């Protein structure tokens, strides 16, 4: 079964700092998704990465995909408190009928 | 903006009772999914549904679970005889056909089995 691993699982950082969340997956896939979840809320789509070398940026978040290394990164630049949430990466199943989610990275940005 | 809606937001039930969780996917979407998330854990796939039939299901989705699209808009998940370990947040999602395959999630139903 396809496995998706994220690290770190918990991240506490100061406002203004930069950090990167890593997402590794176990088998070939050209599509990777990043979601944000606030406590008690649903998953909000952040990025869709559709090919090797894809890079997407939105505000202080930038996501990239290296399909050869089976690795995606979510980079946070100059963090602000509003970014505090849990971030999940997800990979398509073999026949695109389901997502495999990572365990999530709980980000706490301290003022 | 179109969204996936789920009802109820919170369902409390006694062990052994049947529950039906309801979802209205985004209207032009063709693929529907149920996931669950036990408190503090990752989101786990349960089942996907396309063209009025199950296209894939996980090991979690045993005989106690069923899904149905009773009309053109609703998509339901039924648990026949709930167990304590069924307590979780259940998310419905839908996606349209196309390269991106983005799944849009509802706000979830928190199921508490007592």
Total CB pairs under 8 A between chain A and B = 57
Residue A102: CA count within 13 A, CB half-sphere = 31
Greatest CA separation for chain B: 42
- Rounded to whole angstroms, how far apart are CA atoms A100 and B1? 26
- Rounded to whole angstroms, how far apart are CA atoms A85 and B25? 25
- Rounded to whole angstroms, how far apart are CA atoms A49 and A61? 14
Pairing of strands B109-113, B88-95: antiparallel
pLDDT one-digit tens code per residue, B35-52 = 999 988 889 999 999 988
Pairing of strands A10-14, A105-110: parallel
**Residue B1 confidence (pLDDT) above 80:** no
**pLDDT value for A104:** 95
Say whether A45 and B50 touch across the interface (CB within 8 A): no
Which of the four pLDDT bands, split at 50, 70 and 90, describes residue B24?
very high
**pLDDT value for B109:** 97
Question: How many angstroms away from the CA of A102 is the closest CA of chain B?
Answer: 7
pLDDT, averaged in runs of 10, over chain A (111 residues): 91 94 88 92 92 92 94 96 96 79 95 85
**Residue B23 confidence (pLDDT) above 90:** yes
**pLDDT value for B73:** 87
**Burial class of residue A105 (count of CB atoms within 10 Å of its CB; 0-12, 13-18, 19+):** buried
Residues of A with Cβ-Cβ distance to B44 under 8 angstroms: 101
Bigger pLDDT: A28 vs B23: B23
- Rounded to whole angstroms, how far apart are CA atoms B49 and B85? 24
Q: What is the SS3 assignment for B106?
A: coil
Residues of B with Cβ-Cβ distance to A31 under 8 angstroms: 100-101
């Amino acid at each position: 079964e396809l496995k998706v691993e994220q690290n770190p699982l918990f991240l506490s950082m100061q406002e203004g700092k930069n950090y990167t969340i890593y997402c590794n997956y176990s088998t070939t896939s050209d599509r990777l998704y990043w979601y944000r979840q606030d406590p008690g809320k649903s998953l909000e789509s952040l990025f869709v990465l559709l090919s090797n070398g894809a890079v997407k940026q939105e505000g202080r978040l930038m996501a990239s995909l290296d399909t050869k290394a089976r690795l995606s990164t979510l980079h946070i630049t100059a963090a602000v408190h509003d970014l505090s949430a849990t971030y999940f990466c997800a990979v398509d199943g073999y026949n695109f009928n389901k997502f495999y989610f990572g365990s999530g990275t709980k980000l706490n940005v301290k003022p | 903006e179109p969204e996936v809606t789920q009802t109820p937001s919170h369902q409390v039930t006694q062990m052994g009772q049947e529950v039906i969780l309801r979802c209205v996917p985004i209207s032009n979407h063709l693929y529907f999914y149920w996931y669950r998330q036990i408190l503090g854990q990752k989101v786990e796939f349960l089942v996907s549904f396309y063209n009025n039939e199950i296209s894939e299901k996980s090991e979690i989705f045993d005989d106690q679970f069923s899904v149905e699209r009773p009309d053109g808009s609703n998509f339901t998940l039924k648990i026949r005889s709930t167990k304590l370990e069924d307590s979780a947040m259940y998310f419905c999602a839908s996606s349209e056909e196309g390269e991106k395959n983005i799944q849009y999630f509802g706000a979830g139903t928190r199921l508490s089995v007592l």
